[in-house]
């Protein structure tokens, strides 16, 4: 989930990170090795009571601890574990497909933030169970994306969810975090050989619009190294980005239309405020383009974003509306949470018996939905938010990796208007054909589920009446979209 607007605004206005935090860790890819390697082979050999450690000589700084964990879906095998990068540890869940785990595709899922746990995706959106009430525990979710796919949910980067570091280490850029994810995928597939060659899809939402394209690019580029090391390359097939903050300038300027036009719902802002916002909009667009896109200038880009946030986001948040759904207000009690179910998830995951089942390390017992440390590291230290991921999408498209960009029509913060403009402005070989395509309806059970535009490897889609967390608001339509996509069918 995109971290709360007020915290981001404060960060961009000059909040300082605590000097007690350790310096950024840097990953240097090792050279190919000829050391022997014996894959573990099958997931069913894993223990329920203790972790099995997976290693590979090509990635000497990495290990993967994994165990069986009957998390919430008794109909399939599920696993939890850690990606260990020396003193850093990233927590993950893995669920086999409810259909045919031996042949179905594999999906990697991450939520956004920066700094928010993928437990939101697992226990609230597209996972195999939901936690509506912490006391009652998980409830089977029939419209999970593991209906016909094997799926990871990863608490990344370091310090997100149950992830932690021994001495306070952290990463502060998407590009650094990408190396950890790429290495993890390689080690996992190397050990569990039945997944080798399987179609692999990398998906996420919100700040995942920044993460996913860069992570997918790292996985794709790493394939040459895997081949040199005698490993099977990863069959990266597509990316799926939901309500993504992929390109900040196009998204921020779309905030005006979301408040002051009928592009989504009837205007929610007063006429007086919209007139004042309109006078600032040209300056916002010009400043963002010149300082954040044409030539990246850290200081000027930061100033431009602060100006635009104050001008276009400030009036909306002052109304008390939910930044993730223009038709509602926040009802969550926690910082950065706008849904009561998120509070239930936090309570549930802080139960000792649940953490024991998952194998949570005693070093990280306190579960947080979103990490202020990660938000600060990405937002203040490196201004990672200001660097878009559109060029990664272009690079993937040019190499035949398909891209689905979808958005719920009610989301404000990462809205469908900004995402549509982003897709239209992507400079790739299929741009002219994509731009020529009209928006058309896509249907579920004969009823309109949203609009879509598609050409070659790129598809844009909206989901009617869904907010920022589209699979939560529209689980049936979201699952149908995902199933058609991974099957290679059009919407």
Q: Which tokens sit at 45?
A: 């050999």
Contact 94, 127 (CB under 8 A): no
Cα–Cα distance, 21 to 472 (Å, whole number): 35
Q: What are phi and psi of 205, to 5 degrees?
A: -135, 165
> How remote is the C-alpha of 224 from its chain's centroid?
25
Q: Which tokens sit at 105?
A: 């595709």
Cα–Cα distance, 485 to 115 (Å, whole number): 28
The sign of the torsion formed by the CA atoms of 258, 261, 262, 265 equals: positive
Q: Is 159 noted as a catalytic residue in this protein?
A: no
Cα–Cα distance, 200 to 188 (Å, whole number): 13
Residues constituting the chain:
491
Give the contacts of 486 (CB within 8 A, at least 6 positions apart): 105, 107, 148, 149, 199, 201, 237, 238
Q: Is 206 noted as a catalytic residue in this protein?
A: yes
Identify the active-site residue in 206, 291, 302, 375: 206
> How remote is the C-alpha of 153 from its chain's centroid?
10
Cα–Cα distance, 464 to 462 (Å, whole number): 6
Cα–Cα distance, 136 to 155 (Å, whole number): 24
Q: Is 56 noted as a catalytic residue in this protein?
A: no
Q: Which tokens sit at 473?
A: 């608001």
Neighbouring-strand partners of residue 107? 151, 201
Cα–Cα distance, 238 to 95 (Å, whole number): 19
Cα–Cα distance, 412 to 234 (Å, whole number): 35
Contact 240, 485 (CB under 8 A): yes
Identify the active-site residue in 104, 411, 464, 473: 411
Give the contacts of 311 (CB within 8 A, at least 6 positions apart): 277, 280, 281, 284
Identify the active-site residue in 105, 468, 473, 478: 468
| H helix intervals, 289-336 | 298-308, 314-318
Contact 51, 65 (CB under 8 A): yes
Q: Is 447 helix (H, G, I), strand (E, B) or coil?
A: strand
Q: What's 322's DSSP letter?
A: E
| Nearest alpha-carbon partner for 296 in 244, 251, 252, 249 | 249
Cis peptide before 157 (omega within 30 of 0): yes
**Which positions are annotated as active-site residues?**
206, 411, 468
């Amino acid at each position: 989930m995109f971290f709360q607007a007020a915290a981001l605004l404060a960060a961009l206005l000059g909040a300082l990170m605590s000097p007690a935090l350790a310096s950024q860790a840097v990953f240097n890819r090792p050279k190919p090795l000829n050391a022997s390697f014996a894959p573990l082979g099958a997931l069913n050999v894993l223990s329920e009571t203790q972790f099995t450690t997976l290693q590979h000589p090509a990635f000497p700084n990495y290990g993967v601890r994994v165990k069986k964990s009957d998390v919430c879906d008794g109909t399939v095998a599920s696993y939890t574990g850690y990606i260990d990068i020396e003193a850093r540890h990233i927590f993950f869940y893995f669920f086999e497909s409810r259909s045919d785990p031996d042949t179905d595709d594999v999906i990697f899922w991450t939520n956004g933030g920066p700094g928010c746990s993928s437990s939101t995706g697992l226990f609230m959106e597209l996972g195999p169970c939901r936690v509506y009430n912490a006391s009652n525990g998980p409830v089977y979710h029939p419209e999970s994306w593991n209906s016909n796919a094997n799926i990871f949910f990863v608490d990344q980067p370091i310090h997100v969810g149950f992830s932690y570091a021994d001495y306070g280490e952290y990463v502060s850029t998407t590009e650094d975090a990408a190396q950890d994810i790429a290495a993890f995928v390689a080690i996992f597939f190397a050990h569990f050989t039945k997944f080798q060659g399987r179609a692999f899809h990398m998906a996420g939402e919100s700040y995942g619009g920044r993460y996913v394209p860069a992570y997918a690019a790292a996985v794709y580029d790493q394939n040459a190294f895997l081949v040199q090391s005698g490993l099977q390359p990863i069959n990266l097939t597509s990316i799926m980005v939901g309500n993504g903050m992929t390109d900040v300038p196009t998204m921020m300027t779309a905030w005006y239309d979301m408040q002051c036009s009928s592009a989504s719902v009837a205007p929610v802002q007063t006429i007086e405020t919209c007139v004042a916002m309109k006078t600032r909009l040209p300056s916002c667009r010009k400043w963002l383009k010149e300082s954040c896109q044409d030539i990246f200038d850290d200081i000027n880009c930061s100033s431009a974003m602060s100006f635009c946030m104050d001008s276009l986001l400030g009036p909306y948040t002052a109304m008390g509306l939910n930044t993730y759904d223009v038709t509602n207000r926040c009802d969550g009690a926690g910082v950065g949470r706008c849904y009561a179910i998120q509070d239930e998830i936090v309570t549930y995951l802080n139960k000792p018996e649940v953490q024991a089942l998952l194998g949570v390390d005693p070093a990280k017992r306190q579960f947080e939905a979103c990490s202020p440390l990660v938000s600060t590291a990405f937002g203040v230290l490196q201004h990672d938010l200001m660097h878009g991921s559109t060029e990664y999408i272009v690079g993937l498209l040019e190499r035949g990796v398909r891209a689905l960009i979808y958005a719920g029509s009610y989301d404000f913060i990462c809205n469908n208007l900004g995402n549509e403009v982003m897709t239209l402005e992507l400079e790739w070989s299929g741009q002219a054909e994509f731009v020529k395509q009209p928006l058309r309806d896509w249907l579920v059970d004969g009823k309109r589920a949203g609009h879509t535009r598609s050409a070659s490897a790129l598809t844009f889609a909206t989901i009617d009446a869904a907010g920022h967390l589209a699979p939560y608001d529209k689980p049936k339509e979201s699952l149908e979209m995902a199933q058609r996509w991974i099957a290679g069918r059009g919407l």
